Structure 1
Amino acid sequence: MSRVRTIVGISGGVDSSVAAMKLLESGEPTAGLFMQNWADDGSDDCRAEDDRRDAVAVCGRLGLPIHFRDFSSEYWHGVFQHFIDEYAAGRTPNPDVLCNREIKFRHFLDAARQLGAEFIATGHYARVECIDGRYRLLRAQDRSKDQSYFLHQLGQSQLAATRFPLGHLLKTEVRRLAAEARLPTAAKKDSTGICFIGERDFREFLARYLPAQAGEIRTPDGRVVGQHPGVFYFTLGQREGLNIGGVRGFEPAPWYVVGKDVATNVLYVDQGIENPWLQSQTLWSAEAHWVDGSAPARRFSCTAQTRYRQRDEVCEVEVGDDGRLVVRFARAQRAATPGQSLVLYDGESCLGGAVIDATDAPLESRLRSQAA
């Protein structure tokens, strides 16, 4: 057998299974690698062992050599500790972005090179294009599955060594190809939510690391309408889990989280899905990462997403001397959330992005001025 040039991350899901199959069909010398990113915590909720068995079965079906690596320590220090620290600070982090940067396109890439490979491949829905020696990260053909949002922290060196075999395929076609090839994962459900939490209750999981601290739920004008188990269990725009029944003097309409004050342990809520307290038009970010290595300009127009699967929103971007961004949107954004990722696009091309630090949402601005 010729030397393996590409190692594909086999997760035990249908997408990575078909990605491996497509590489083999193209004649690419390929091997698989299964990553364990979360240590068994004794909860019986982690699917890592099931996924490992499925990965082995897929590689057996394809006649593909498979390797195994335990990145659970790297995941804990590079992804999970940040996740907990952000929630403790009242922010809402996105661990998938960090997992891609720190684990799949750093430690996995290093492991592949140690095994003698030149490239890695994954089952992500995205595309890579090289023009005049510069690599671009492009949206997937299937916009409903496009994952460039989660990959925006990648740079030139990672993209030069990465292949996305599913970038031009629709999800329905991926399922069809898996079924035709009788892959063991053909009918397996896609994983959803945060990988290390699995099917368990999010609040119960988080309470293991951030003990509950009950406090008041108030309206923005200060009226107490309930009690919460801990402000860090909630995020802006959330409706579920508030347990607010009929409140005298208010319409029988749903309540939404519109703000949280970690210092005073107060959760703020109001009624109406398009509540004005959730609207912001300007946001400030941490230092940005650029796929091309630098910003396109100090000031430029583009589109952006402040959450996954959001529609493109027109904005003006100003890049500060420290690399932080000021982003002004053409129309107000609902529940743009500190800790989440702002990802910038020029058409199909992902320019890069940054973590949202603050917005001009009315309640957030008020709480920030009170704390100053």
Structure 2
Amino acid sequence: MGPAKGSITWYAINFGPDGLPQRLVDAFEEEHPDISVTYQAAPNNTDTMRATLTTEISGGSGAIDVYNGDVVWPSQFGSAQLAMPLDAHLPDDFWDRFPEERADVTLHDGEHLAAPLYVDTGFLFYRADLLEKHDLPVPETWEELADTAAKLQRAGDVRYGYVAQWANYEGLTVNWTELSAAAGGHSVDDGAAAIDSPENRRVLDFMRRLLDEGVAPAAMTSFQEQQSLQTFVEGEAAFHRNWSYAWSEANTPESPIAGKIGVSALPAFEGEDRPGPSGTGGWNLMINPHSDAIGAGLAFIEWMTGPTAQRMLAESSVLPAVDEVLNDRELQRDNPTLAAAARVPLVSRPSDSPRYAQVSNGIFTNINGSLAGSVPPGSALRAAQHDIGKALKGRAL
């Protein structure tokens, strides 16, 4: 069997610096002159992109050959036969290039439905200048963070201690998953709802404490990524949880805090393993089972997860998915988030159910309701337990 040939369309939300997807395509075509790739930009909204793909592929269309898929899609897309299982078409050792936990989130029914393309990691960003001013260490536990943040507030250095994404949306599921895991908790365990637990009550009580004591702004129950980042960049908060892109955003020439920040893994809760985990983020590459150019699509996936493309990602401040590049010391020297990402443990959202969207809804609506003050913590966890259980059984919430 000779080298793959043909034309493919790659459908993906634009990522990285302007023009990065097309630069990747150009580099691929230079090494594979018999394969032509058309990059088709997807809507910059994950739900809209998912709906478009579902309509196209379920209708039997092969117009899109390879597409980027969110890390939480494999079970949803696998159960609906929207993605081609890859194991029979790739070398047995293909998956060894990725960290095990990153490869595992592409599994559905024991088969890899996607290949990791890049990682996104949740970090703790902090005002290094203020910690140095008061001779304070970077907090390693959430309890230390709350105390340190309050000290900086009392000193008049910042208005708020901590900002994150606690709005009534998917981002809260990520924040919750990280905090829950940092306390030894789960929302789903062995296929069953597990959110109503002492570990998770500890977490929800702590989140409420941050709001009640003014360490976190009351408006944080409506904050998504951009609102929380803006608050941090404007110098109003000491600590900030966000994805890796926040490092470059906070260090632009226009940023009031440029050169004044540090980045670390998220904290753990006292008595638990350190550091705390990041929710697994990022995007995968998936193949349309109706594609007429599967061989070319597989060649594209092999190259995109190989050293050339992965180094291009890292050099563009996009976190690579493969171990070799993620742990490259030379690249780490120029990119603090890359160095931090190599050390951060990952925890996946409960996305191994085809009903993940409903499970997530059961998490974020009930947790947000309690954070907003409309539902007591115990009642919120019991309601979430009920909603997650219904979702896992395939019943409407």
Give the TM-score of the pair, scaled to structure 2.
0.31
1 or 2 for the larger relative contact order (CA 8 Å, sep ≥6)?
Answer: 2
